[in-house]
Amino acid sequence: DAKTTQPPSMDCAEGRAANLPCNHSTISGNEYVYWYRQIHSQGPQYIIHGLKNNETNEMASLIITEDRKSSTLILPHATLRDTAVYYCIVRVTFTGGGNKLTFGTGTQLKVEL
């Protein structure tokens, strides 16, 4: 499985953009990058995913480098409710319909006033 590397923690001021980096240098050509977050005492929540192109939805933007070895999740206007652990995951899909998300320890984002 492609391994991801994320900083263990980051701080962000409320209202500012939060940029969360992720390295996935061993990613294969057909593997997607997924981002989930987990607010304290809740189950993980899907944020966004991408393969090659940059993606944007109502929650965030995902910027993937051209060589696909790294990506950045952008929360454009962070609020206190965005305080959570953010997981960057390379999804492995295998024969037979298997779909494996291997979670690391993620980045603890703390949004402060």
Partner 1 sequence: EAGVAQSPRYKIIEKRQSVAFWCNPISGHATLYWYQQILGQGPKLLIQFQNNGVVDDSQLPKDRFSAERLKGVDSTLKIQPAKLEDSAVYLCASSLEYYNEQFFGPGTRLTVL
Binding site for partner 1 (CB under 8 A): 34, 42-46, 49, 87, 93, 96-106
Question: Least CB distance from residue 100 to partner 1, whole Å?
Answer: 6
Nearer of residues 53 and 99 to partner 1, judged by Cβ: 99
Nearer of residues 5 and 45 to partner 1, judged by Cβ: 45
Q: Report which residue type is found at 36.
A: Y
Question: Least CB distance from residue 38 to partner 1, whole Å?
Answer: 8
d(CA 110, CA 48) in angstroms, rounded, equals 20
d(CA 60, CA 50) in angstroms, rounded, equals 12
Nearest to 82 by CA among 21, 36, 22, 37: 37
Question: Least CB distance from residue 94 to partner 1, whole Å?
Answer: 8
